[in-house]
Chain A
Amino acid sequence: MLETALLIGFGLVSVALLLSFLRLIKGPDLPDRILALDTLYINSIALLVLLGLYFQSALYFEAALLIAVMGFVGTIGLSKYLLRGDIME
């Protein structure tokens, strides 16, 4: 039961990753690409959590936490760059 649900979950999240990646390639403007990167890292957190459930290991948690923190900092840095033309203040 859980196995099937996990496999369906993997399928859905993989399609989500693919769609975000297509937007990253296509995205007409820079903000679109930043948004696509933001979605991409959140989707990868979902994939890591599913993998942790599948292999029954709590080790993937640390990786997910690191991706969450670094992804947020990256999004903020890129948006600040668009706003000011410079990252450091």
Chain B
Amino acid sequence: MFEWILSALIIIGAFFTLVGSIGLYKLPDFFMRLHGPTKATTLGVGALLIASALYFSFKTDDISLHEVLITVFLFITAPVSAHLMAKAAIHIKTKQVDRTQNPMK
């Protein structure tokens, strides 16, 4: 039973990591590409880290929580770096898809 939960978490995590990279590869402009890595990849790695914490907690009878530290760190830093990259892209006027609705024009 425990192995099933772990396996599900691992596959879900790896799948979301892949979805983030697919978004990075196939979407047409920079601002749309930004969405894949900030959301999907962060959640995917979070799920993998929780799987790791569960595994080491049950294997050694010692609660192992330090994986939570990376999860929290990623969830705090991912939006910050996305914000800065978007700001830099606006600053140097990166191209946008023509159909983007834009109040700045």
Contact = CB atoms under 8 A, between A and B. Distances in A.
Note whether A and B form a binding pair.
yes
Contacts of A38: 37, 81, 85
Given A30-B92, A32-B33, A39-B21, A1 B7 contact: yes
Contacts of B51: 49, 53
Nearest to A2: B3
Interface residues of A, number: 50
B7 A31 contact: no
A12 interface: yes
Chain B, interface size: which category?
35 or more
B11 A8 contact: yes
Contacts of A46: 13-14, 17, 44-45, 48
- Which applies to chain B's interface (DSSP): helix, strand, loop or mixed? helix
Contacts of A8: 10-11, 14
Contact of B18 (A15, A52, A65): A15
A28 B8 CA distance: 37
A79 B81 contact: yes
Interface of A: 1-2, 4-6, 8-13, 15-17, 19-20, 22-23, 28-32, 34-36, 38-39, 42-43, 45-46, 49-50, 52-53, 56, 58, 61, 64-65, 68-69, 72, 75-76, 79-80, 82-83
Interface of B: 3-4, 6-8, 10-11, 13-15, 17-18, 20-22, 24-25, 30, 33-34, 36-37, 41-42, 44-45, 48-49, 51-52, 55-56, 59, 64, 66-67, 69-70, 73-74, 77-78, 80-81, 84-85, 87-89, 91-92, 94-95
